[in-house]
Copies of this chain bind each other. A is one copy, B any other.
């Protein structure tokens, strides 16, 4: 079979890709057929963290489904950063935004936690997962971040996997500057970043967090950051200090020259 043209879309598929044929569910079939207006024979890419990325060709559409013939491998699976974002949820538009940006910045897991001053009571986990998948599709990631079930902060801390260190972004000034502390404590191994709600952490919450053996408190500087900005700033800084000697981005699907 000839190379056969440009890749028209990039799709996260959780199932194994090391198969001759894949079936897509109704939303994906709809997306390819009615949003991108692709026909039988069009080429797409499919990917997941376990198998890497493959080219595939649309075999056919039916009512609520689409089948793909899997073709050549385009990228091998590669290690990604093991970094969670644990954050107090915020209003819906900003929440989507945090998930999108955190995905681009390489988080492997996202855990919404309810703190004393958290003003949001309900989280649509499925929606957040879809936002993460879309961001992974757009940003050439091979994995999509896992969204953990929302929990109260103290419950999350009670069942915390203690081998994972937790960077507490403390806007009250209780931690040293992030760029001084992180190189000192070292960034190897699994980490998570914890940021608070718009109202900040309560004093008692900060006191309890600082007592935990896996917590490292830091400050993000002298500026007042919104909750979403603080989460993204902390992630960007962490990645720059920890993982970013690994090279430059993969060639972009949307790249121009």
Interface size on A, residues (CB 8 A): 52
Say which one of A16-24, A45-53, A156-164, A177-185 lies at the interface with B.
A177-185
- A 204-257 contacts with B by CB, 8 A: 219-226, 229, 232-234, 236-237, 239-241, 243-250, 252, 254-257
What is the CA–CA distance of A222 and B141 in the complex, to the nearest angstrom? 10
- Give the distance to chain B from A103, nearest Cβ to Cβ, in Å: 9
Contact status A232-B236, CB under 8 Å: yes
Q: Which residues of B contact A243 (CB under 8 A)?
A: 221-222
- The yes or no answer to A202 lying at the interface (CB within 8 A) is yes
When all copies of this chain in the complex are counted, the total is 2
Contact (A240, B239) CB under 8 Å given A104-B229, A223-B141: no
Q: A248's contact among B139, B140, B173, B244, by CB below 8 Å, is which?
A: B173
| Majority-rule SS of A interface residues | loop
- The yes or no answer to A199 lying at the interface (CB within 8 A) is yes
Q: Which residues of B contact A172 (CB under 8 A)?
A: 248
- Give the distance to chain B from A108, nearest Cβ to Cβ, in Å: 12
Instruction: Give the nearest-CB partner of A138 in chain B.
Output: B226
